[in-house]
Structure 1
Amino acid sequence: MMFKQEVVASPSTQTPTSIRRFSPALILGFMPAFRHRDSGEVRLCRGADGQLANQHLFDALPAYWIAERDEDGCSIALVAAVEAGYWRSDGFWRLIDLLHPNLDS
């Protein structure tokens, strides 16, 4: 699959079966992202300036992914179909996947 910084797609999610502790080195290469479960569309997190972010930010998400904004127009809640996670290599990792990683052998 070709990686695009703006939008990436993940056709499936894996549900790991065992609980493991992982080294901090495992998180290298993980990029904060959000996925819309209905469409499978994944967006990397970006700051208001458009630069890739190192944390989960709502700034550059499509308007239809936003459920609520504050009085200043800043996004404060996402629609239920959007989940936080991380993009690594060629797949989306849900937060629960980090607790139960299905690592390459």
Structure 2
Amino acid sequence: MMLDSGVSFSSSGATVQGPKWRLSPELVVGFLPAFRHRSSGEVRLCQLTDGRIARVHILDSMPAHWVAERDWDGRPSALVAAVEPGYLRGDAFWCLADLARPGLDG
């Protein structure tokens, strides 16, 4: 299952329909799709079934206790409310709201 983060990475400034953020590719270099459990602070990178890091938010690699619902095939379709999407950059987790008002490096 993929989540639409609503972020456009177009360097031309074009965005898809609806309220979207416009971020330059330079800003998101080094950001890896991840989820964080608000209660424990644990962060998990999104991974493909073969273990490679995913380039988009997917639910397939999340721990079973983070999964609230599964589809007919047993794949995660929703996460518990305490889990939030975001990005891991270095050792810092950025939630989606952080991307809207970044405190950029240095």
Q: Same fold (TM over 0.5)?
A: yes
Gapped regions of structure 2 (runs ≥ 5)? 1-21
Counterpart residue number, 1:25 = 26
Counterpart residue number, 1:42 = 43
Gapped regions of structure 1 (runs ≥ 5)? 1-20
TM-score by structure 2 length? 0.76
Counterpart secondary structure, 1:96: helix
Counterpart secondary structure, 1:25: helix
Counterpart secondary structure, 2:26: helix
2:48 paired with 1:52 = no
Higher relative contact order (CA 8 A, sep 6+): 1
Counterpart secondary structure, 1:48: coil
TM-score by structure 1 length? 0.77
Distance in structure 1 (CA, Å) of the matches to 2:65 and 2:76:
11
